[in-house]
Amino acid sequence: MTVQTELRYLSQTDLKQLGADHSDAFIQAIEEGLRLHAKQEFVQPLKPYLRWPDAPHIADRIIAMPCYLGGENPIAGIKWIGSRQHNPSKFDIPRASAVIILNDAQTNYPVAIMEASLISAMRTAAITGVATKYLAKKDFSDVSIIGCGPIAQMQVQTLLEQYQSIKTIHLYDLSAVAADRLISQFAGNFPSVEFVIHPSAQAAVEQADVLVTCTVSDAPYIPYSWLKKGCFVSNISIMDIEKEVFVKADKVIVDDWDQSNREKKVINQLVEEGKFSREALHAELGEIVLGEVVGRENDDEIILLNPMGMAIDDIVCARWFYQAALAKDAGTKLPLF
């Protein structure tokens, strides 16, 4: 066995050259990660949130997300992702930035470090992309996106690349500029898809066969009454959906129960209030992907996915691109000694 004693650095440009500018690689990797999660072939400590007093917004934090991942090529790693809400307005830079470090599972030596903001955004979109296959109505046509920033852009890209049945993308954002920017990014490449900007969140939500929340809201505002029959909700930004939806929805699904039932998020609040429990949960998403639990069973079900985001998602995608980089000798090799 050859022991790695060098570190391979992959920039965002390197990752795009390996396929990270398209959703296909992320869909494949995330499905594999969810299967490994369902088979318990992972170790994933609860992620700590690092915050300090002069960072008051819910999005002001650095998160450490470590994971060991089994399968054919076992590997360990960590994503270190920082975010400040004022970054775009104050510094003209994206809100979040991240790096991923991968470690060889035999020696525990670091073998790769890569830019991770693209991976982080695209793997989050791939969760919606994979879940939509199992939880949305067949041949759905209307997607509603609440919040039109960078996370929304990746969600729209993934859904349009993966699902040809989409006819209309309904948009709402507090900033009309953000919605216009999103449309300009995709309208030219998807001329058969209509993009509609709505005057309120309610107007956009009410149209949704698939609803994706992409905001930095710190308080719920979407009630059950806004959801039409058969809606699949991918609650990416976690705090947008009112508590009653978790109680009234036909099925509630998470990516990982332990990760979801913490940090005073909505599920955690409901559990502490005695209104929700592990037993009330329909499934973890990996159980559905693995075929252990059925996803959607009819076109009238309202199904809510509440994915907290797992280190597994990041590390399985990083492993995919690291393997691709080894095969193509991509990136920059840095000596450890």
DSSP string, 230-257: T-EEE-TTSSSB-HHHHHHSSEEEES-H
Q: Is 138 exposed, middle or buried (0-12, 13-18, 19+ CB in 10 A)?
A: exposed
Six token digits for residue 284? 């973890």
Contacts 24+ apart (CB under 8 A), 87-95: 94/150, 95/59, 95/149, 95/150, 95/216
Catalytic-role residue among 16, 39, 47, 79:
79
Query: What φ, ψ does residue 13 adopt, rounded to 5°?
Result: -65, -45
**d(Cα 316, Cα 323) in Å, to the nearest integer?**
11
**Active-site residue, 79 included:** yes
**d(Cα 144, Cα 18) in Å, to the nearest integer?**
30
Query: What φ, ψ does residue 287 adopt, rounded to 5°?
Result: -65, -35
**d(Cα 191, Cα 103) in Å, to the nearest integer?**
43
**d(Cα 36, Cα 245) in Å, to the nearest integer?**
29
> Strand 75-83 vs strand 232-234: parallel, antiparallel, or unpaired?
unpaired
The answer for residues whose C-beta is within 8 angstroms of residue 17's C-beta and 6 or more apart is: 330
Q: Which residues carry out catalysis?
A: 79
